[in-house]
Amino acid sequence: MNEKMGKAFLIVRMKGTVNVPYWANTTMDLLHLDKRFRATIIPEKDNTKGMLNKIKHYVSWQEIDVSTAKELLEKKARKGGYQKITAEDMTKLGFKSTDDLAKSLADGSVALSKLKPLKPWFALSPPKHGFKRNTKKMYGEGGILGSHKELLAQVRLMM
């Protein structure tokens, strides 16, 4: 994992849709996180940190590296009709391969939501063997919410 950490965040919604205040729901809708265990990759901008801080009790995030971005694209990226993406789709988007797309996503030069026909999110499954930490606390308190240092390893269990 010595690859250069990017200027983009992998964000995963960890909590469900019940009893979520309107303002948090709106923010998560803007990030395309409308269901539990949805993940997205967004480039780091001025407003990104503010949005993440606002919904930190519902999501967890970490800077993404190229290898994780590539793995997510290969296993979980979908287009309309929930079909897997093909090499043909990559060339239509203007990338030579998933490696190129993963690199540009990880360094924040392209946003997932701007890549039509790709869906702007990845649907993850609940982690195999469950969470190792508390799901109701912030990362600093021994939980999984907020800025999460081990999220990439966790997401690998969810693919």
Q: What is the pLDDT of residue 138?
A: 95
Q: What is the pLDDT of residue 6?
A: 53
- Cα–Cα dist 47/59, whole Å: 16
Alpha-carbon distances, residue 149 vs 10, 20, 39, 134 (angstroms): 11, 25, 16, 14
Q: What is the pLDDT of residue 2?
A: 41
* pTM recorded for the entire structure: 0.91
Q: What is the pLDDT of residue 23?
A: 96
Range of the domain at 104: 1-158
Q: What is the pLDDT of residue 113?
A: 87
CATH number at residue 129: 3.30.1390.20
Give the count of domains, the chain: 1
User: What is the mean pLDDT, run by run of 10 residues, along the chain of 159 residues?
Assistant: 65 95 96 95 90 95 92 92 89 90 90 89 92 93 93 89
Q: What is the pLDDT of residue 101?
A: 92
